[in-house]
């Protein structure tokens, strides 16, 4: 499942619950943006970095169609600004989900 599909599904599942909640109106709404990293060289990491003014809330990866390689890392950087993904022998593409601050 792609990050965009997962993100849109999550938003759709969350909206009805938000409509039922009795909360005061928000002053500033956060918006999400999905950043796509460049495809890596075989076995090398791909990185997707959140733009300035946003913060990392999640991420994921995409392998080429038909690839069945092991993913050796799929997670955030230590400073939580970049999502890294790395496969054992296959090119991989990282995605970062970033929200405005």
Q: Domain range spanning residue 21?
A: 3-100
Instruction: Look up the CATH number of the domain holding residue 68.
Output: 2.60.120.690
Per-residue pLDDT reduced to its tens digit, 22-52: 445 555 556 999 999 999 999 999 999 999 9
For the chain, how many structural domains are there in total? 1
State the pTM of this model: 0.69
DSSP code of residue 16: H
**19 class by beta-carbon count within 10 Å (0-12 exposed, 13-18 middle, 19+ buried):** exposed
């Amino acid at each position: 499942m792609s990050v965009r599909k997962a993100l849109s599904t999550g938003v759709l599942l969350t909206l009805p619950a938000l409509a039922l909640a009795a909360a005061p109106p928000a002053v500033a709404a956060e918006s999400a943006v999905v950043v796509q990293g460049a495809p890596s060289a075989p076995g090398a990491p791909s990185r997707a970095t959140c733009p300035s003014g946003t913060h990392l809330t999640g991420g994921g990866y995409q392998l080429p169609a038909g690839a069945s390689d092991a993913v050796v890392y799929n997670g955030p950087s230590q400073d939580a600004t970049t999502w890294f993904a790395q496969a054992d022998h296959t090119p991989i593409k990282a995605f970062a989900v970033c929200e405005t601050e």
